[in-house]
Copies of this chain bind each other. A is one copy, B any other.
């Protein structure tokens, strides 16, 4: 079973009624309002998205909110409020852990200008955290969808990739001797930072398509190419790689550029823009590829020459 297969079954039975501007399939849904309302819902599941052997309650709380804020960022929006569902073995849950979990969320909510306004708690055999964030577009801006990429545009990313994936490797298979950047890579993995300010800047500057990189640059680029009905070529040599990522990839026997382009959980923004926008947008935006016409959804990878990867990114269903 793949995520895409389940999604097809879901879409086959759901209808939408008036008031829904964007339904399933983008980083957030969009409800018609003035300004438009954005709704994101992402879960973190024990042993799928995190492990108690390596993650603290504060890490899980932070990440559960951050990945949803990242979806709001990917539309160019601003978060308003979040609700939190926590299913967990409650018999083992101490007061300090509850405060640590919600406290880390509160810190990030405060920093992001939103409030945690409700939710639900239940006992369960394993921990599942579900967060819904409601946001809105800044006045006068339309949400930036995945479907707006146009031939002739550049494919760009914010920030440097592979840090979270490298941090995951360090956590799960600690090296005999710690490398200089290991600690910050682990922090990047445990505490992703949603690119809210960059998202608004890019929406305002006229980005044509945008999404966050959650499952790996290559897989997410494929989703954008499908939604936009275009081809995307990614030049792996141009992918900006985070400090310390190459050392971790090399020690694991993996090509660093491939590792950074498929590792996932970067929570940087993947965006398409007209070529003249890059120098004037005032962000550290790196062009990693191009949009062209052709078979919708085709992603071509180049690493000097055309390459094929066996895995483009992460699937949290299969």
Which A residues are within 8 Å of any B CB, using their own CB?
1, 3, 5-7, 9-10, 12-17, 19-20, 22-24, 28-29, 31, 37, 39-43, 45-49, 80-81, 83-85, 87, 90-91, 93, 95, 98-99, 102-103, 106, 110, 113-126, 128, 130, 132, 134, 316-318
Which of B23, B113, B114, B134 is in CB contact (< 8 Å) with A115?
B23
| Given the contacts A19-B115, A29-B118, A9 and B95 also touching, CB distance less than 8 Å | yes
Q: Which 8 A-B pairs have the closest CB atoms?
A: A130-B130, A29-B117, A132-B132, A41-B83, A29-B118, A9-B98, A85-B130, A13-B103
Inter-chain contact A43/B122, CB cutoff 8 Å:
yes
Interchain Cβ contacts under 8 Å between A and B, 13 examples? A1-B91, A6-B121, A9-B102, A20-B115, A23-B118, A39-B81, A40-B118, A41-B119, A42-B85, A122-B316, A124-B126, A124-B128, A128-B128
State the Cβ distance, A66 to closest chain B Cβ, in Å: 14
Is there contact, CB below 8 Å, between A45 and B81?
A: no
- In whole angstroms, how far apart are the Cα atoms of A132 and B39 in the complex? 10
Give the distance to chain B from A275, nearest Cβ to Cβ, in Å.
33
Nearest-neighbour CB distance to chain B for A218, whole angstroms, equals 21
Nearest chain B CB to A179 CB, angstrom units? 31
Which residues from B are CB-within-8-Å of A48?
Answer: 122-124
**Is A13 a contact of B128 with CB atoms below 8 Å?**
no
Contacting pair A45 B123 (CB below 8 A): yes
Chain B contacts for A128, CB-based, 8 A: 87, 124, 128, 130
> In whole angstroms, what is the CA distance A24 to B115 when docked?
11
A98 closest partner in B (C-beta): B9
Give the copy number.
2
**B-chain residues with CB within 8 Å of residue A83 when the two chains form the complex:** 29, 39-41, 132
Q: Which residues from chain B contact A20 at a C-beta distance below 8 Å?
A: 81, 115, 117
Cα(A51)–Cα(B84), bound, Å = 23
- Measured between beta carbons, the chain B residues less than 8 angstroms from A102 are 9-10, 13-14
Q: Using A7-B121, A39-B81 as known contacts, list a sample of 18 further A-B pairs with CB atoms less than 8 Å apart, ordered by residue number in A.
A: A1-B90, A6-B121, A10-B98, A12-B99, A13-B102, A13-B106, A17-B113, A17-B114, A28-B118, A29-B81, A31-B80, A37-B37, A39-B132, A41-B83, A48-B122, A83-B132, A120-B130, A126-B126
Q: Which residue of B lies closest to A27 (CB)?
A: B118
Contacting residue for A81 out of B12, B31, B81, B124, CB 8 A: B31
What is the CA–CA distance of A132 and B103 in the complex, to the nearest angstrom? 22
Complex formed: what's the CA distance from A5 to B99 in Å?
12
Would A85 and B43 count as touching, CB distance under 8 A? yes
- Contact between chains at B117 and A85 (CB < 8 Å): no
Which B residues are in CB contact (< 8 Å) with A93?
1, 6
* A125 shortest CB reach to chain B, Å: 5
Residues of B with C-beta under 8 A to A31:
80-81, 117, 134
Set of chain B residues within 8 Å of A114, measured between Cβ atoms: 17
**Docked pose: A317 CA to B28 CA in angstroms:** 31
In angstroms, how far is the closest chain B Cβ from the Cβ of A4?
11
Tell me whether B120 and A42 are in contact (CB under 8 A): yes
